[in-house]
Chains A and B, each alone.
Chain A
Amino acid sequence: MIRLFNENRYERDAVSTPPNEGEIVSSLASVANRLPRISNEVQASGADLEARGVHAWFGSRHVLADVNLSFPAGRVTALIGPSGCGKSTFLRTLNRMHEFVPSAAMAGEVLLDGVDIYKQGTDVTKIRLKIGMVFQKPNPFPSMTIGENVLSGLKLAQIKRSNKEDLMEECLTRAGLWNEVKDRLNSHGGSLSGGQQQRLCIARALAVAPEVLLMDEPCSSLDPGSTLRIEETIRQLSQSVIVVIVTHNMQQAARVSDYTGFFLTEGGPGRLIEYAPTREIFSRPKDERTEAYVTGRFG
C-alpha cells in the first residue's frame, strides 16, 4: 500500500514506484474519507455561482458542451479530466475570461447570486472583481514590488481603502506568505521562488475580496512544500470564498475539494461526465469512464 498520507502527508510526490490501480482507488478513497469535512457544514457568505447549459466554441470548434454545475457558498469544487477536455475553458467562462480569445463564442448562462454575468449591459470589470482568478503560471507584475503586487487589484479597480498595511498583511498571511516576505515587501516579485510567486498571486487575488476564486492548475509547477501551503490556503479560504480548482493531480483533488467534477472528451466537445462529492468520485464512481480515469487506466 502506498502511503499517500502519513505524518508528513505531502511527501507523496516522492513516491516513485507505480502502484497498481486497485491500490490507488482504495487509497484515494481512504484519503477522501479521512479528510476533515469542514466546509460542507459551514454556510458562509451568501454568494453562489451556477453554470447552466454552458457551451463553448473556438471558431467553429465546439470544445465544451452543456455543462450544468452549481457552486454553493463555502464549497471547494475540483475539476479533473485529461488535457484538452475543456475544463480550463469552462473555468474561464465563469469569470468572462473566455471572451479574451477573439474567435471565442459561448452559449448558456452563468449565474452569480442569481444574475447572469453574460446579461447585456453587465459591467464585466465588476464581475471579475467578484470572481477572482489564479493562473497556472505565477504571474506577479514585474514592475511592482511585493507589497504593490498585493494591493495592485485595488489600484486597478480604483478602490479606495484605508489601512492598506493591514490588508497587505492579512492577505499575505492568508496566502501563507507573510512570514517569508514581511522583511522585504519592497523588493520585486521576481526575486521570489515559483511557489512564493504563486502564493503572492493568491494574496493579490484575495486583496479585492472576491466571492469566488477560480484556480487553473495553481500548483502544476510547484514543489510539494509550496503545494502543501497553497492547499492549506485553499482549505482556509473555503470558509469565506467559493473555490473552483482545475487540477491534474488527483490526490490534490481528493485532499482539497468537497465536490469533484470529471470532464472528458470523446472526440467531440468536452462534457461533464460525473459530478459528485469527492469521496464518491474516488471510492465509488458511477460512470465507468470516471473510474477508469481516477484509477489511472487512461488520461
Chain B
Amino acid sequence: MAQILPLQIPVPTPKKPWKPAPIAMIPDLLILVGAFLVADATVALTGFKGKLAIFFLFALYSTLGSMALAFFRRGATAMSNAMATSMAYLSIALVALPLFSVLLTVVSRGRHALRLNTFTQDMAATQPDAPFSQGGALHAILGTTVLVILATVISVPIGVLTGLYLTEVKGRAETLIRFLVQAMSGVPSIVAGLFIYAVWITGGHGGFSGFSGAVALSILMLPTVARTAEEVLKLIPNDLREAGVALGGTQWRTVVMVVLPAARSGLITATVLGVARVAGETAPLLLTIFGTTAKHFNPFVGPMSALPLYIFQLLETGLNVAISRAWTGALVLLILVSVLFTLARFVGGRVKS
C-alpha cells in the first residue's frame, strides 16, 4: 500500500506574538520611572509631604503617562483601557502594601523570641518574663489546631448542607434561611462567645472547654461557609443535575456523585474562608475556653489555650519580654494558618488530577 508521506517541513518554534517584545516595553518602563521621579520632585518642591504623597502622586502621574502612551499607540479608545489597567495595578498595590507591611512587622518582631522550644514547650512552669530559651507556645498551637479542626468538623457539614438546601432542595424556607444566614454573618464575635457562655456554660451544660470554644467559633464560621457554598453550588450547570437524575439517580445520589465533586474546589474555598474567619478570633474564646498555660489535649474538659488568646494574655502583662513572646505567637499563628490552607489545597486538589 503506497502511502504518500507528507513533505517533511521543519517545525518552527512556537511563539507568542501577542506578548509585547521586551524592547516595546521600554516606553512603559520609562513612564513608571519618570512618574516616580516627578512625584519625588513634586514632594520636594511643593507643600506635599511624606511617603503617602509620593505614592498617590506616582499613581496619578503613571496613570496619566500610560494613558498618553496608549493614546499615541492606539488612539482614544485605548486610553480608557490603559486607565482601567493602571487603576487595577495601583489598587492591588494599595491592598498589598499594608498586607506586606503587617507581614513584615510580624516577622521582624516575632523572630526575636522564636526558638525551637517555642514549638516544644508550654508556659506552665515558665514566667512570662523568663528568657526566650524557656517556655513556648506549644499549648496554644495545640489549642488552636484542636479548636479549628473541631469548628471545621462542626460547621462545614452544616454549612454545606445549608448550601444544598438553598440550591438543591429549594424548600419553602429558602428566602428566610438565606436572610438568617446573612444576618448571622453580621454577629459580632464576642456575642457568639457570650451566647455560648450564657446558654452552655452558665446553663450548667459544661464548663470552660475547647468544645465550648469550638461551638462559639462554629457560629461565626457557619454563615461564611454556607453562603460561599451556596454561591459555588449555584455555578454548577443545571445540565449536570439533569443528567444525573436522568440516569435514574435519586436527588441525593446525584448531589453526592455529581454536584459536590463538580463544586469541589469551590467548597474547599468555602472551608478555607471559614477557617480564615475564625482562626484569629480572640473575643469568643475569652468567654469559652478561658485560657491556660499548660498543654491540654482533651477539648471536652477543662480550659484550653489558643494562639490569639495566648497573644492577648501576654500583651496584658505589659512586660517587654512577654510582648516579644506575643509577637512570636502572631508569627506562629500566621505560619499555622498558611500550613492549614496549603494542606487544604493539597488534599482538595489531589483527587482531581
A interface vs B, CB < 8 Å? 53, 55, 57, 62, 65-66, 96, 99, 104-108, 118-121, 123-126, 157-158, 271
Give a binary string over B1-39; 1 marks a CB under 8 Å from any A CB, 0 the rest.
000001001011111111011001000000000000000
Give the chain B neighbours of A158 by CB distance below 8 A: 76-77
Give the chain B neighbours of A55 by CB distance below 8 A: 11-12, 14
Given contacts A157-B77, A158-B77, A271-B6, contact A120 B20 (CB under 8 A): yes
B interface vs A, CB < 8 Å? 6, 9, 11-18, 20-21, 24, 73-78
Q: In the complex the two chains form, is B18's CB within 8 Å of A99's CB?
A: yes
Bound form: Cα–Cα A119–B15 in Å: 12
Q: In the complex the two chains form, is B11's CB within 8 Å of A62's CB?
A: yes
Q: In the complex the two chains form, is A105's CB within 8 Å of B16's CB?
A: yes
Residue of A nearest to B15 (CB): A107
The 8 nearest A-B residue pairs measured at CB = A105-B14, A118-B17, A107-B12, A99-B18, A57-B14, A123-B74, A158-B77, A105-B16
Bound form: Cα–Cα A105–B19 in Å: 10
Q: In the complex the two chains form, is A107's CB within 8 Å of B13's CB?
A: yes
Bound form: Cα–Cα A55–B15 in Å: 10
Give the chain B neighbours of A57 by CB distance below 8 A: 14
Give the chain A neighbours of B78 by CB distance below 8 A: 123, 125
For the complex formed, measure the closest distance between the CB of B202 and the CB atoms of chain A, giving whole angstroms: 53
Bound form: Cα–Cα A165–B243 in Å: 43
Residue of B nearest to A60 (CB): B14
Give the chain A neighbours of B6 by CB distance below 8 A: 271
Not counting A96-B18, A107-B12, a sample of 16 additional A-B residue pairs whose C-beta atoms are within 8 angstroms of each other reads: A53-B12, A55-B14, A62-B11, A65-B11, A105-B15, A106-B14, A107-B14, A118-B18, A119-B17, A120-B20, A121-B24, A121-B73, A123-B73, A125-B74, A125-B78, A126-B74
Bound form: Cα–Cα A96–B17 in Å: 10
Bound form: Cα–Cα A53–B12 in Å: 9
Q: In the complex the two chains form, is B14's CB within 8 Å of A124's CB?
A: no
For the complex formed, measure the closest distance between the CB of B317 and the CB atoms of chain A, giving whole angstroms: 52
Q: In the complex the two chains form, is A66's CB within 8 Å of B9's CB?
A: yes
Q: In the complex the two chains form, is B16's CB within 8 Å of A120's CB?
A: no
For the complex formed, measure the closest distance between the CB of A272 and the CB atoms of chain B, giving whole angstroms: 10
Bound form: Cα–Cα A260–B135 in Å: 80
Q: In the complex the two chains form, is B77's CB within 8 Å of A125's CB?
A: yes
Give the chain A neighbours of B11 by CB distance below 8 A: 55, 62, 65
Give the chain A neighbours of B18 by CB distance below 8 A: 96, 99, 118, 124
Bound form: Cα–Cα A299–B16 in Å: 32
| Interface core residue of B9, B14, B74 (most chain A CB under 10 Å) | B14
For the complex formed, measure the closest distance between the CB of A278 and the CB atoms of chain B, giving whole angstroms: 23
Give the chain B neighbours of A107 by CB distance below 8 A: 12-15
For this complex, 15 residue pairs linking A to B, each with C-beta atoms less than 8 Å apart, are A55-B11, A55-B12, A55-B14, A62-B11, A105-B16, A107-B12, A119-B17, A120-B17, A123-B73, A123-B78, A124-B18, A125-B74, A126-B74, A157-B77, A158-B77
